[in-house]
Structures are given as structure tokens and as C-alpha cells.
Amino acid sequence: MSYRAPVEDFSFLFDHVIDVAALRATDRFADASADVTQAILLEAGKMCDEVLAPLQRNGDLTPARLENGVVRTSPGYDEGYKAIADGGWIGMAASEEAGGMALPMTLTTAVNEMMSGACLSLQLAPLMSQGQIEALEHHASDQLKETYLPKLVSGEWTGTMNLTEPQAGSDVGALTTRAEPQSDGTYAVTGQKIYISWGDHDLAGNVCHLVLARIPGAPAGTKGISLFLVPKFIPDANGNPGKRNGVSVVSLEHKMGLHGSPTAVMQYDAATGWLVGPEQGGMAAMFTMMNNARLGVGTQGVGVAQAAYEHALDYALDRKQGRTGRDGTGTIVDHADVRRMLITMKADIFAARAIALSCAQAIDMATATDDPQWQARAALLTPIAKAFGTDTGIAVSEMGLQVHGGMGFIEETGAAQFSRDVRVTAIYEGTNGIQAMDLVARKMMDGGEAATRLLDEIQTDAEAARTTNPNMADAVWQAVETMREATEWLVAQDELNTRFAGAVPYLHAFARVLGGHYHLKAARADKGGTREVIARFYIQRLLPEHASLLAHAQAGEADLFALTPEELAV
């Protein structure tokens, strides 16, 4: 299955759309020069094209399997993981003290997207480790950092995140896993966790689990939850894997897609664990990892969208079917509806990619400056990046199937795998509905100030674009006005259910406006070029969707609850 890493697109975004220059102007990221950035993009792209992409079908056709308590990974995954680890791609954003490169999350996000597009099932392993690295850097004791971080950064060990239980999904506070204090300062962790990505495997020397559990006597709900580091093998005095811990794999989930990624049901039987952060501080520590993962998952959606687009484009350029009444290649790419699908795919990929990179840039600026406004910007963009990125992955993969016609329904073409693999991204790390609810509630606790500042910036850029791209600039400017009015209405609603009823359309409207903003910037930088053409398509045909979405967002909740549960069943 072919994949071509979009290195040129990232270079264009960094040079003309995402303010990477601001990052390089900080002391924290001064070393991330244009030359360094380009060299990293090229090297990572080469690895994705030549090493990871050939593994995409292997994972689907020969899934990970559980044999005698040991998870065996798909053919070739060992070499693919070795290439990721040896290249230093896991620890790109990690501190130099831990053996990382201390590079911007913006650049890490670009590399993660390329790995996701090449082989999403395998990319999940380093993504989980990256989240654990960040959580340990912020919350773990010096002793834990010294023991675990270098090995996680190097890829010698891998990390996981254990939240969900059979009775406790998004309602994490309902968990029953317990952690009994031991005389040596450790804890005996007992319980079962489900949906654990890369919960076990044969690629690395140890698997390190971050596990949410409750210490006896702790209050009910999320406030009583603590976080523990529970390794598969307990490190010995030299920091090497020692005796086997009380951790086992009950089973592997039989999934719709992502067959190469082992998703485990994990059992903890008085397993030795170490507290990460303070007692009852588990949610704060885990959210450090989850916020990292939410951006990463949004990026996964964009990566799969890129791969699905390339796959569909190759087919459209080759498949001869019907007549279009116009001169052309004689293939289905000459059909107007196929063109509509392909350019929609391309335009939405650009928008979703730009949103994800802008979110990463805000995270980097917050890290470099400690500016609360950058922190608020990163928080605001995270749910949008996650939800719109994954929804784009799903939509583009579905359009890719449609471009293939009947052949898209045949597994041998590989088109269906993109849809099956990416579908879960809208569910894990907080469903997209939860992301939208977070956006309209928690992220609006400032009265909409962060959102308003962002809208002000977009409107200022649209004003500046009126001299070069007047029609597109006017459309973006007016869309911002509509978005501003809807945001003012939203923050005036005291009843949260009123906000929640329209949360998903509000998030998508915001994403549409952001997409128009980034496309307009691209059009200004590529006057008369391909990107201006794509921007015009997006702004004329896709941006107007924001108006109907906002009408939906402001419709309230009454009609959603007008029918009783019994009436819904009729």
C-alpha cells in the first residue's frame, strides 16, 4: 500500500501559515531552525514511506495475537518499531535530561501525523509512550524519572494508559481498581482495565503502565483517584527488568480495525506500583497525558485522511469508467463528482492539519513563555483539533471508499482498512461529543475570552487579506462575525444542557471558521497557485456550512427531550 509523506505541505504550513518563527524566537526553541526542521521532516518522511507504510496491510491481515500469556505482534512490526526508536522519534519533545531532543511539539505533531498515515496501528505504541513521558516529567518523583524516562525516551521500554474498566468508561470516577499501601512505600494494585492500547507486546523489554486506582479510605468519584506506575517487570537495582510483576493479559479485543495494535484487557493482582504525583491527585496527573493524547489522536485522524486521499487519488487517476463529455485523461478523475470528492478531501485535510499544528504551536508557546493566554489558546484548540481531526479522518476515508466505487467494498483494494482503522479515533481519549461539551463548558469558563481573542486575530488577518483576496477575505470576515455572535449567545446560557445540546455543531462551526482562516493565509502566500485554488473551493463551498451548524448550536435542548424514552422506541 503506497504512502507519500506530505513533507512539502508541512514545510509550506511552517513557512506561511503556522507561526513557527515565534517559536524560534524563544530561548526554549531557538535551536529548531528552518534547516533543522526541514532535515527532520525529510528523514521522518523517508522512514514512513520506506519502512512503516509497507507494514500497513501486514497488521490488518495478520493481527497481533495472544499466545501462552505473551502478545505476538504482526510481521515486520519489530523492524518498524526499531526504526522509530533508533531514529529518536519517540523522545522528540522530551527533555534533554531524559535523553530527548527538546524539540517543539509542533514538529513532533508533524512527524506523528506522517507515522499515523503510514501505519496507524504501529504508531499507537510510540504515541502512548510520548504521553507517559510527559506525565512522568511533570508529576513523577526524581527516582521514578531517573529509572523510567531514559528507557521510555529511547524506546527500550514502552508506556500505556489505563483508565477504563468494564463499568467505568467516560465516568472514570466509577472505577473500582484499588491500591493498598505497602510498608516499603509501594502500593499493591488490584483490578481490571479494558481497552489498553499496546497493553502487552514483544517489541520492547518492558511495558510500563500508568494505572488509575483508589487508595482505601479515599473519597468516591474522581477526587479520590490516584495514579500509579506499574511495570510488567519490576526494575532491579541496576534499573533493568527484573522479576515479573502481578500484571497479566486476560485477552485481546476483537476489533473493527487497528488489528495490528494489540488492545488488551489487563489484570492487576496485587501488582507492585509506585505513586505518581500526590495521593488523590491522579486525575490532574493523568490529564497531562490525556491532553497530549487528544492532540495526538486528532493528528492520527489527519494522517489516515492523508493516506486515504492518496489511495483514492491513485485509483481515480488509473480507473477508466464512463465518459465525461470533456477531454481529459479518460479516467474517473475527469468526472465532476469524483473531482468534488477529491478536492473536498484535500481541502479538509489542509484545514484539519493546520488546526492540529496551531494547537501544538500554542502548547509550545505556553511552554516557552508561561503566558496564560497561550495556555488558554492551547486549551481551547485541543478539543477542536481532536474532534475535527478525527471526524475528518472518518469522512475522508468514507469518501475514499466512494471514489473506489464497488472496488472500495472489496478488502483486497485496502480502501476499507482506512475507514475501519480510523473509526475508533472519534471514540477514544474522550469521545468527540465529550470534546465538544468540554469546549462549550470548561473552555468557556473565562466568559469566552480565549475564543474572542482568537476570533479577533482571524478577523484582523481577514482585513489584511482584502487587498489581495477580497472575496475570500470578506467571506472569512463575515463568518467570524457569525461565530462571535454565537459565542456570545453560548456564554450567556446558564443552563449547561442548553450548551451541550448544540456542542457538536458549535465545535464543527468553529473548525470550519478556523479552516477558512488557514486557507486564506495559504491563498495569500500562494497567489495564483494550487493552494489558492483549494482555498477558494473551501471558502466558497465548505465554509458556508458554519451558518447552518450555528443555527443548530443555538436551537436549545427542548426538542431533544420532547419525546419520552418510550416514544423513542415507537
**Which of 113, 137, 398, 429 is labelled catalytic?**
429
Query: Considering the domain 435-559 in this protein, what is its CATH number?
Result: 1.20.120
- pLDDT value of position 326: 73
- pLDDT value of position 449: 98
- pLDDT value of position 69: 86
Domain chopping of the chain, boundaries: 435-559
Work out the pLDDT band at 325, boundaries 50, 70, 90.
Answer: low
Q: What grid cell was written down for 311?
A: 489511495
371-375 long-range Cβ contacts below 8 angstroms, 24+ apart: 373/450, 373/453
Alpha helices (H) in 405-495, listed in sequence order = 415-422, 432-440, 449-465, 470-491
Work out the pLDDT band at 323, boundaries 50, 70, 90.
Answer: confident
**216: CB partners within 8 A, 6+ apart:** 178, 180, 181
pLDDT digits (tens, 9 = 90+) for 341-399: 999 999 999 999 999 999 999 999 999 999 999 999 999 999 999 999 999 999 999 99
Mean pLDDT, residues 32-45: 97
Give the type of residue at 316.
Answer: A
- pLDDT value of position 408: 94
| Distance, CA of 91 to CA of 98 (rounded, Å) | 9
| Distance, CA of 277 to CA of 274 (rounded, Å) | 10
- pLDDT value of position 139: 94
- The pLDDT > 90 percentage for the chain reads 91
DSSP 140: S
- pLDDT value of position 172: 76
DSSP code string of 14-27: HHHTS-HHHHHTSS
pLDDT digits (tens, 9 = 90+) for 451-486: 999 999 999 999 999 999 999 999 999 999 999 999
| CA-based nearest residue to 310, from 285, 336, 342 | 342
Q: Is there a catalytic annotation at residue 429? A: yes
